[in-house]
Structure 1
């Protein structure tokens, strides 16, 4: 608890310092640009005023300004300086874009690569039925200077089996899912899925038969049907309806109709968001493997039970691997495996 409190305090202090640094630049830039715009309008008002009083007799093409012309110029002055105000917003957008590019460059230089990432064309599934999955002496570390997270790890998942991975946070459950999906490369050993070795030339086709259901699936701005189909070719309206039935999301979809959701799932609860992710997976005609990372985390008991039932409906006849802390979800699996500090303990489940 003390270590967590110290880390939280350090992170909060870091966030405060970075936030204030950004706000300082934002306020200074906005204040300077607003100052120049305000001074510009004020100078025009002074000129018009003294011109109408007869104190200034220059600056006009013919004769002196009258009241109508002076008021017209004053009304146009703020619009004339509006681009100067807009420059502040555009500058902040540019700074945000540069920060995003810097973050992407940092990620690109991190070293971890996604297997089969070079394949961008739609891939045909490499498996035609629920496959067995075998991990053989798998080693993994995030960086060459870091210790091994997995060392000589072995795992056999039977075809169509439902397996729950249990363990403390940081024990490697999510890492195992990333390795099986090819989102992270093995440091040593190998993974075989349905008799096909997971490698750069096979990962893309193998992933075509997989679905990843995480804790916080991203919801795009658009309709529920659009968020399920995701523009994938060959998905018909009937397929979307069937997927809604599997995810038990029909009533929600009927209530929303064609009204769009907000970016990030604004308008949906946490449980509805997860069931929408399950419906997305159900729309994949090649789906044979389901990888779920804490699908019931942060949900109340009733909602977690609904998500569990939807997930099990989707997993019928398919291979399912779930990383979870939820004992109720784990109890519904065929088998559980506990992964703690590199020690693997197997226990049977009904």
Structure 2
């Protein structure tokens, strides 16, 4: 629609030129009334086409950008928290929010401008050639010089934009990491050193940004130069031709005043789409750099086809949800990349259906790692983990995770209501389900943990014990969770709070298989059995 609107200038220019020719031929004002009305109607139609085309293009571009962000979010969510190669949080956030916004002008402005720059000059060139072959030849010679030099500038612009995007992502990651470790930085008296490094990163980003802007201005200057030269050469030819100094270049032998005006009106319009393309050339460089960055992160975060991770799951998980499964670990070998030692070398253990087991070991011996392996967040180098009668592997991990609930010692609390923190976006959960989950987690009498209360990011408004019980409520609200994996639920809690958490946890675990990594001997004594890593399985006395 935008291209069609631009092409309407050709009949408008023809009507204007014809009107002037009629006036010079003595036709009078009456002869230009109908052409003037036609020019006005074409102008209104042109404005409508431009407006509708711009609105539709922006709407489609915004929808496509939302789809790109959703795919990137899904691919990043598939990365295990234990994966050392996963992107830094600051880099991922920068790619999804700041850098992704550069795609919008690329789709909404550059792509339509490129289409107009491809089609409109061809139609205008045909119209000019129909009147004067020499004027058409001038435009034909001047036109290719613009894309050639813009392409040369564009290669450099893309490289500069990629460097700028990388600099932005690195600076965001650096800033986020330092904000997270602000307490440590202060304790080590490294505030000034951190500030100096941040200042250096800011100066580097400023230099990258100015390099991109210099190239953007250079591309505009190149186009304006050749466009001005092309229009000037056409104007000089038309002027000398009408003065009788040049008697060639027209199919009819000599151009009339109307024909000369028609060519002069179209000459600037021939370069206008290219001028618009130059104005959004920086959007192209930034948009393509952002797309490449997002595609790179998406590929890194999607080790398996998406369908293979989701299609297996829901029906089988629901079918078995009424019966808690067994968990068997057979000849398990696992080590972290570049760690130099094995966390597990031939580990074997078995948890019966509906059994509550404590996993006990010194700090750093692999309790949390074992739970992560059971959850499929990391893959062992050797050995099997069998849940029920299904082996945990890449194509079954999503289906098995659908029946698991994870409760960590420091649950993440999102900015939002208690209700949204319990449901976590799961469909089919009403207010009654949330209230029941809060009651099972012994949160129903806590004023700051009511369903409609708003919480700050990272649990502002909740104590440590209340945050753990909120994680219990999430597990209680999980409709298909018959496996509980619990990591140090009473760590860093006072005895009274730990007692409340233990009671809620044991109540929640009824009828479910549960593995708890813990140092708390009071909790160990309340479970069915304890497994000491590095030794043979031990049954609690």
- Seen in structure 2, the aligned counterparts of structure 1 residues 286 and 240 have a Cα distance that, compared at 3 Å, is same
The answer for the alignment partner of 2:197 in structure 1 is 21
The answer for the alignment partner of 2:369 in structure 1 is 175
- Contact kept, 8 Å, 1:139 with 1:187, in 2: the verdict is yes
- Contact kept, 8 Å, 1:164 with 1:321, in 2: the verdict is yes
RMSD over aligned CA atoms reads 3.5
The answer for the alignment partner of 1:40 in structure 2 is none
DSSP 3-state at the match of 2:416: coil
Q: Deviations over 1:317-336 (max 9, x none)?
A: 10010001111111111001
Q: 2: distance between equivalents of 1:12 and 1:115? A: 46
DSSP 3-state at the match of 2:325: coil
Aligned mate of 2:483, from 274, 283, 289: 289
Matched, 1:127 2:303: no
Instruction: Output the TM-score relative to the length of structure 2.
Output: 0.45
Q: 1: distance between equivalents of 2:526 and 2:307? A: 34
Q: Deviations over 1:62-84 (max 9, x none)?
A: xxxxxxxxxxxxxxxxxxxxxxx
- Seen in structure 2, the aligned counterparts of structure 1 residues 316 and 27 have a Cα distance that, compared at 3 Å, is same
- Count of residue correspondences: 268
Instruction: Output the TM-score relative to the length of structure 1.
Output: 0.68
Q: 1: distance between equivalents of 2:407 and 2:307? A: 20
Aligned mate of 1:246, from 419, 440, 453: 440
Matched, 1:155 2:331: no
Aligned mate of 2:498, from 278, 282, 304: 304
Give the gaps of 5 or more residues in structure 1: 1-7, 31-97
Q: Which has the higher contact order (CA 8 A, sep 6+)?
A: 1
1:225 shift after superposition: 1.3
Q: 2: distance between equivalents of 1:13 and 1:118? A: 50
1:17 shift after superposition: 4.0
What does 1:215-254 correspond to in 2, within 5 Å? 215-252=409-446
- Contact kept, 8 Å, 1:163 with 1:321, in 2: the verdict is yes
1:214 shift after superposition: 0.5
- Contact kept, 8 Å, 1:116 with 1:201, in 2: the verdict is no
- Contact kept, 8 Å, 1:224 with 1:253, in 2: the verdict is no
Q: 1: distance between equivalents of 2:307 and 2:372? A: 14
The structure carrying a bigger helix percent of its residues is 2
The answer for the alignment partner of 1:315 in structure 2 is 509
The answer for the alignment partner of 1:328 in structure 2 is 522
- Contact kept, 8 Å, 1:214 with 1:294, in 2: the verdict is yes
Q: Deviations over 1:228-250 (max 9, x none)?
A: 11120111211111111110000
Q: Deviations over 1:211-267 (max 9, x none)?
A: 110011111111111111112011121111111111000012577452311111110
Q: 2: distance between equivalents of 1:117 and 1:14? A: 48
- Contact kept, 8 Å, 2:488 with 2:518, in 1: the verdict is yes
- Seen in structure 2, the aligned counterparts of structure 1 residues 253 and 324 have a Cα distance that, compared at 3 Å, is same
- Seen in structure 2, the aligned counterparts of structure 1 residues 19 and 332 have a Cα distance that, compared at 3 Å, is farther
Q: Deviations over 1:162-190 (max 9, x none)?
A: 01011111101111101111000011011
